[in-house]
């Protein structure tokens, strides 16, 4: 195995190092999610932690790493009696983003189970990570069903495999660490809650600290073994300190005063459920043990809140994680009081070996070893520069006064960005036909999960077995195979796997008209509110999104296709309006973007959402050029929806004409709402009612769900 970068050689990132070490002291904390921009050594720090973990005693020959002192009575390798034991280093198992469910939980050999009647179970990554570290890089890109399996195992401490009536259960207790770049999309709030702690990391803006990072990395790349040897003493000391903290952990006392502060903090920040309270209690206890104390102090509770609460306050995908530290200090001060058990004054935090107030060996924040220096580089007592906080992404503003008209509008005039109205729940828009894209919640598709619709011969490794089809294929050959009595002889050619139908995520490409005509009659706030609502719907349905805006003399790719709806909301909030309406330029830019994306990800089907009143100005025959561009998209089979933003007593119906040219449908802003009365009128007996609106004049396809909202 290649030499890992030493943990103690990581420069800065105090919160990240502290969160990882607290989980090493107390795995019950529940793991850590590391959020940050690319190139911030997230993966380096996580991989370095494995070398600090104490060795693990295991039952000799057990594939599931059973503890010889308390072996798992339900271990698939059988009951373990007293016998030889061995020690091995704690494992760090990496879960690839493209892993299958069988690779994660393990696989049953269906052929042997049917032909020989034996349970042949091959352990997966969860079994390999038992009593070690399970590391998921880019956890936000992991398929949802894998995340569900992973977090369920982490919460229950066991993995369950149920296939074709065969059940296997094995212990799976591990330190779960996930890293992610928020620019590539967020995790769902309910999944964020399953990680014990979260840490935001960013590259330091301090030149001296950046110089130290580069020097150490270059030295490591030149001679990994020699570089690791220089930090061997620091690594050994930190490893010993983790072991001592683990031994001290059962003796740490969590008093009633600290518990009241924890409960008051979670209540004040309106955190859902009780998991936050439990995680804070475990984190504060681990902090005390890490600092060599047997009592939890108020500063432990405060630090635990900063690590355990920010990601649990996220109510929707446009909320930025974070915590108001002034409010936190106020809540802790108001909820602090005398411990009913009799300690009027908690013992002050003991001083560190150098007399500093930080406590704990090492003198750094949270008792961490100082990181600016290091062996033969700088004095060990050099102060650690504070890492800058990442600015919270700006949330789209809401229009305070919908009646207020923006400044002058019209061709050639640019207006400042206006706020969006309140987002609403939209109807489901989906792509016709049956796709084979990534699992999601929008359009019908053949997926690994969903209802069984048929059977087929396996293509490569056997997936979900279709038992009835397998028996039906094997039955006619029993006499030729020598079977004269009960039972069934099954061969590989007889195996059939289930064909399942579920839903996929799509690429939703927004083409937004930002011209002067859209700013008239106070429309832009409503238009932004509608696009924001569609962005929220795309987030919930696991789509990728992109955004093109057109105004003035051209079109701009405001947001390349991404999984981050937060980025889309931020671009929308900053969108200015004004100028002419180059509708054809917007559609042609959409055609080019979809062409490139089709080459990158051919299985992900696109849904084009054009938000416009249908007008086109500028140049000769602007409307004709726009319709020809629409025909180009229709010829490529792109599913389209036009959101008709026309308002006022006199309507030209241009959006409906554009929808016909695109081969799609048009819906008004009112009909886009899931609870719209007009939308219900148009779904009588499952057929659209042709009315006088521009939506009624558009051709209706299956890709607009006309029966009910999801």
What does the pLDDT read at residue 116? 61
| Domain membership flag for residue 663 | yes
Q: Is residue 570 within 8 Å of residue 473, measured between CB atoms?
A: no
Query: Whose CA is closest to 180, among 167, 191, 168, 166?
Result: 191
Residues 566, 611: one domain?
A: yes
In whole angstroms, how large is the CA radius of gyration of the chain?
30
What does the pLDDT read at residue 293? 93
Q: Which domain holds residue 623?
A: 418-431+506-697
Residues 486, 586: one domain?
A: no
What does the pLDDT read at residue 380? 38
Last residue of a domain, one of 459, 488, 503: 503
The values of phi and psi at residue 397, to 5°, are -75, 160
Three-state DSSP class for 640?
strand
| Domain membership flag for residue 489 | yes
Residue scoring higher pLDDT (196 or 698): 196
Most confidently modeled of 340-354, 434-448, 536-550, 579-593? 579-593
| Domain membership flag for residue 342 | no
User: Positive or negative, the Cα torsion across 696, 668, 607, 442?
Assistant: negative
Residue scoring higher pLDDT (708 or 245): 245
- Quick check: 359 pLDDT over 50? no
Cα 374 to Cα 18, 232, 233, 362, 399, distances in angstroms: 18, 11, 11, 12, 53
pLDDT tens digits for range 204-219: 888 888 899 999 999 9
Last residue of a domain, one of 219, 250, 281: 250
pLDDT tens digits for range 682-697: 433 333 333 334 433 3
Query: Whose CA is closest to 539, among 446, 706, 425, 669?
Result: 425
Residues 123, 213: one domain?
A: yes
| Pairing between β-strand 158-163 and β-strand 166-171 as defined by DSSP bridges | antiparallel
Res. 344 pLDDT band, cuts 50 70 90: very low
- Quick check: 533 pLDDT over 60? yes
pLDDT tens digits for range 236-293: 999 999 999 999 999 999 999 999 999 999 999 888 888 899 999 999 999 999 999 9
User: Positive or negative, the Cα torsion across 179, 182, 188, 194?
Assistant: positive
Three-state DSSP class for 581?
coil
Q: Where are the beta strands (DSSP E) in 90-237?
A: 92-94, 106-108, 121-123, 133-137, 158-163, 166-171, 175-180, 197-201
pLDDT tens digits for range 127-153: 898 888 898 888 877 777 788 788 788
Q: Is residue 237 within 8 Å of residue 382, measured between CB atoms?
A: no
Domain count, the chain: 3
What does the pLDDT read at residue 675? 67
What is the C-alpha separation between 206 and 568, in angstroms, rounded? Answer: 31
Catalytic residues: 275
What is the C-alpha separation between 285 and 252, in angstroms, rounded? Answer: 6
Residues 32, 13: one domain?
A: yes
| Domain membership flag for residue 269 | no
What is the C-alpha separation between 548 and 200, in angstroms, rounded? Answer: 30
Res. 366 pLDDT band, cuts 50 70 90: low
What does the pLDDT read at residue 339? 46
Residues 208, 126: one domain?
A: yes
Residues 511, 461: one domain?
A: no
| Pairing between β-strand 85-88 and β-strand 56-59 as defined by DSSP bridges | antiparallel
- Quick check: 403 pLDDT over 80? no
Residues 477, 524: one domain?
A: no
647 Rama class: left (phi>0) / alpha (psi -120 to 50) / beta: beta
Please give the mean pLDDT across all residues of the chain. 78
Last residue of a domain, one of 210, 232, 250: 250
Q: Is residue 24 within 8 Å of residue 52, measured between CB atoms?
A: yes
Q: Is residue 612 within 8 Å of residue 658, measured between CB atoms?
A: yes
Residue 576 has what DSSP assignment? -
What does the pLDDT read at residue 248? 94
pTM over 0.85: no
Residues 147, 224: one domain?
A: yes
| Domain membership flag for residue 630 | yes
| Domain membership flag for residue 678 | yes
What does the pLDDT read at residue 315? 59
Res. 391 pLDDT band, cuts 50 70 90: very low
The percent of residues above 90 in pLDDT, for the chain, comes to: 25
What is the C-alpha separation between 318 and 455, in angstroms, rounded? Answer: 42
- Quick check: 662 pLDDT over 90? yes
| Domain membership flag for residue 707 | no
- Quick check: 526 pLDDT over 50? yes
Residues 514, 658: one domain?
A: yes
What does the pLDDT read at residue 102? 79
Residues 491, 568: one domain?
A: no
The values of phi and psi at residue 311, to 5°, are -75, -15
The values of phi and psi at residue 374, to 5°, are 115, 175
Exposed, middle or buried, 376 (CB in 10 Å: 0-12/13-18/19+)? exposed
Res. 166 pLDDT band, cuts 50 70 90: low
Q: How many residues does the chain have?
A: 710
pLDDT tens digits for range 481-496: 887 777 778 888 888 8
- Quick check: 453 pLDDT over 50? yes
Q: Is residue 658 within 8 Å of residue 610, measured between CB atoms?
A: yes
Residue scoring higher pLDDT (45 or 192): 45
What does the pLDDT read at residue 353? 40
667 Rama class: left (phi>0) / alpha (psi -120 to 50) / beta: beta
CATH of the domain at 30: 3.40.50.300
* CB count in 10 Å sphere of residue 233: 11
Work out the end-to-end distance of the chain between its first and last CA atoms, rounded to an integer number of angstroms.
50
For the segment 591-599, the average pLDDT, to the nearest whole number, is 94
DSSP conformation letters of 389-452:
PPPPPPPPPB-S-TTPPPS--STT-EE----B----PBPPB--SS-B--SEEEEEEEEEEEEEE
Query: Whose CA is closest to 545, among 174, 144, 183, 12?
Result: 183
Q: What is the 3-state secondary structure (H, E, C) of 605-639?
A: CEEEEEEECCCCCCCCCHHHHHHHHHHHHHHCCCE
Residues 568, 590: one domain?
A: yes
Q: What angle do CA 321, 358, 331 make, to 5 degrees?
A: 45
Burial annotation 316-336 (CB, 10 A radius, 16+ → b, else e): ebbebbebeeeebeebbeebe
Residues 457, 565: one domain?
A: no
What does the pLDDT read at residue 98? 72
What is the C-alpha separation between 231 and 219, in angstroms, rounded? Answer: 12
pLDDT tens digits for range 503-513: 888 999 999 99
| Domain membership flag for residue 397 | no
User: Positive or negative, the Cα torsion across 150, 152, 154, 156?
Assistant: negative
């Amino acid at each position: 195995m290649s030499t890992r970068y030493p943990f103690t050689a990581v420069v800065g990132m105090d919160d990240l190092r502290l969160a990882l070490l607290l989980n090493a002291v107390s795995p019950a904390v529940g793991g850590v999610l590391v959020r940050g921009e690319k190139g911030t050594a997230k993966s380096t720090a996580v991989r370095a932690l494995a070398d600090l973990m104490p060795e693990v005693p295991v039952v000799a020959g057990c594939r599931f790493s059973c503890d010889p002192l308390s072996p798992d009575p339900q271990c698939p390798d059988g009951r373990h009696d007293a016998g030889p034991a061995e020690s091995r280093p704690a494992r760090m198992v990496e879960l690839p983003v493209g892993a299958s469910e069988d690779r994660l939980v393990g696989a049953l050999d269906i052929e042997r189970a049917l032909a020989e009647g034996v349970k042949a179970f091959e352990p997966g990554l969860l079994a390999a990570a038992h009593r070690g570290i399970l590391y998921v890089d880019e956890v936000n890109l992991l398929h949802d069903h894998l995340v569900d399996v992973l977090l369920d195992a982490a919460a229950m401490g066991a993995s369950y495999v149920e296939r074709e009536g065969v059940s296997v259960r094995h212990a799976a207790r591990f330190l779960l660490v996930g890293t992610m770049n928020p620019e590539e999309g967020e995790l769902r709030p309910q999944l964020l809650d399953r990680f014990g702690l979260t840490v935001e990391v960013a590259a330091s803006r301090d030149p001296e600290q950046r110089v130290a990072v580069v020097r150490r990395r270059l030295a490591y790349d030149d001679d990994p073994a020699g570089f690791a040897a220089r930090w061997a003493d620091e690594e050994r000391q930190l490893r010993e300190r983790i072991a001592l903290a683990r031994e001290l952990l059962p003796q740490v006392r969590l008093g009633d005063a600290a518990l009241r502060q924890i409960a008051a903090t979670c209540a004040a920040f309106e955190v859902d459920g009780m998991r936050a309270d439990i995680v804070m209690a475990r984190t504060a206890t681990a902090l005390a043990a890490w600092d060599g104390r047997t009592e939890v102090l108020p500063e432990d509770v405060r630090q635990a809140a900063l690590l355990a609460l920010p990601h649990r306050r996220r109510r929707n995908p446009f909320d930025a994680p974070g915590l108001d530290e002034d409010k936190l200090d106020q809540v802790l001060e108001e909820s602090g009081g005398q411990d009913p058990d009799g300690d009027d004054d908690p013992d002050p935090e003991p001083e560190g070996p150098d007399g500093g107030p930080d406590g704990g060996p090492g003198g750094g924040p949270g008792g961490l070893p100082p990181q600016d220096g290091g062996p033969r580089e700088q004095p060990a007592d050099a102060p650690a520069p504070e890492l800058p906080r990442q600015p919270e992404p700006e949330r789209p503003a809401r229009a305070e006064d919908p009646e207020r008209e923006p400044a002058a509008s019209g061709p050639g005039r640019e207006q400042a960005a206006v706020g969006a109205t309140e987002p609403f729940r939209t109807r489901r828009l989906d792509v016709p036909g049956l796709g084979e894209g990534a699992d999601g919640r929008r359009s019908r598709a053949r997926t690994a999960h969903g209802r069984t619709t048929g059977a087929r011969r396996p293509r490569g490794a056997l997936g979900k077995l279709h038992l009835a089809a397998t028996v039906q294929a094997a039955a006619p050959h029993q006499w030729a195979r020598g079977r004269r009595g009960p039972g069934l002889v099954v061969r590989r050619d007889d195996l059939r796997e289930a064909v399942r139908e579920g839903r996929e995520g799509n690429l939703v490409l927004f083409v937004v008209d930002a011209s002067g005509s859209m700013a008239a009659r106070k429309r832009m706030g409503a238009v932004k509110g509608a696009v924001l609502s569609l962005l929220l719907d795309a987030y919930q349905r696991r789509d990728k999104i992109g955004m093109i805006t057109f105004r003035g003399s051209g079109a701009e790719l405001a947001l390349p296709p991404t999984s981050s709806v937060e980025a889309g909301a931020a671009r929308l909030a900053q969108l200015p309006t004004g100028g002419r309406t180059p509708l054809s330029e917007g559609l042609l830019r959409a055609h080019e973007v979809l062409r490139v994306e089709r080459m990158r990800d051919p299985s992900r089907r696109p849904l084009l959402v054009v938000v416009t009143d249908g007008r086109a100005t500028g140049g000769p025959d602007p409307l004709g050029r726009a319709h020809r561009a629409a025909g180009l998209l229709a010829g490529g089979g792109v599913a389209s929806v036009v959101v008709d933003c026309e308002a006022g007593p006199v309507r030209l119906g241009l959006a409906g004409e554009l929808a016909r040219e695109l081969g799609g449908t048009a819906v008004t802003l009112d009909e886009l709402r899931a609870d719209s009365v007009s939308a219900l009128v148009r779904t009588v007996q499952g057929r659209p009612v042709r009315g006088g609106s521009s939506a009624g004049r558009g051709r209706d396809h299956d890709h607009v769900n006309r029966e009910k909202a999801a």
